[in-house]
Amino acid sequence: MWSSYLYVAQRLTAFVLAPLVLVHLALIVFAVQDGLSAAEILGRTRGSLGWGCFYGIFVVAAAIHAAIGMRSVAAEFLRWRGWGLEASATCFGLSLIVLGARAVAAVVL
């Protein structure tokens, strides 16, 4: 039953990620129009509550989505089961959240 809830969480985060990824890709195309520089990126993001929320949500959704996906990959290709699998997937997701939050903080704060 636990993995059914993980399935639901992965699908719900996919719903969240789909529009965010499209905006993110469009932003990449838009951002390089005038050359890609740290000053240009920080000028847009520093102190921006909107971009902070956008990428904050992005990081959380991506971390949950990817950790559940990696759990399935490990279970199927490494035949991994039990608490080791659950702990590793959880650590992987938390690592993504920490790394992502650090990156968001670096460009927003």
Partner 1 sequence: MNRADDTLAVEIWKGGTDGRLAAFEVPLRANQTVLDVVTWVQRHRDPALAYRFACRVGMCGSCAMTVNGKPRWTCRTHVAKVAVERHLTIEPLRNLPVIKDLACDMTVFFEKWQAARGRFEGRTTRHDEVVQLAPDTPARVAIDAGIECINCAVCYAACDVVAWKPDYLGPAALNRAWTLQNDTRDAGQEARLAAVAGDAGCHNCHSLQGCVAHCPKALNPTAAIAGLKRAVFRAALSGDL
Instruction: Specify the residue, 4 or 33, whose C-beta has the smaller distance to partner 1.
Output: 4
Q: Rounded to a whole number, what is the distance in angstroms from the first to the last CA of the chain?
A: 41
Q: Contact, 51 vs 85, CB < 8 A?
A: no
3-state secondary structure of 78: coil
Q: Which is nearer to partner 1, 85 or 101 (CB)?
A: 85
Residues that bind partner 1 (CB under 8 A): 1-5, 7-8, 11, 72, 75-77
Q: In the complex, what is the shortest distance from the CB of residue 60 to partner 1, in angstroms, rounded to a whole number?
A: 19
Closest CB 54 distance from partner 1, rounded Å? 25
> Which residue, 31 or 74, has its beta carbon nearer to partner 1?
74
- The distance of closest approach from Cβ of residue 78 to partner 1 in the complex, given in angstroms and rounded to an integer, is 10
* Long-range contacts formed by 95-101: CB under 8 A, 24+ apart: 96/59, 96/62, 96/63, 96/66, 96/67, 97/59, 97/60, 97/63, 100/55, 100/58, 100/59, 100/60, 100/62, 100/63, 101/56, 101/59
CB of 80 to partner 1, least distance (A): 11
Q: Which is nearer to partner 1, 16 or 101 (CB)?
A: 16
